[in-house]
Amino acid sequence: MMTDASATHYQQKQHAGVLCAVHPEKPFDFAEKAYWLQRDMALKAFVDQWLHIAIQNGSFRKIYSVWFD
């Protein structure tokens, strides 16, 4: 299976001992994921602010670790 690092980490966690992510920290190229939002600038500002705060206060890392570590 070839996919991005987040998907390989997730699949490896879901199938521990069966699947193994091979060099997910050295991707073939760089790409970011995105979520499609309606053209609502207030919603975008809210999501951007939430993400910024979550990264700063460590809660993003805590959520990330539940799914990928």
Query: Domain map of the chain by residue range?
Result: 1-30, 34-69
pLDDT < 70 positions in the chain: 1-2, 24, 27-33
Spacing of C-alpha 7 from chain mean position: 8
Each residue of 13-44: b (16+ CB within 10 Å) or e? eeeeeeeebeeeeeeeeeeeeeeeeeeeeeee
pLDDT of residue 61: 94
pTM, to two decimals? 0.52
Structure tokens at 42: 């207030």
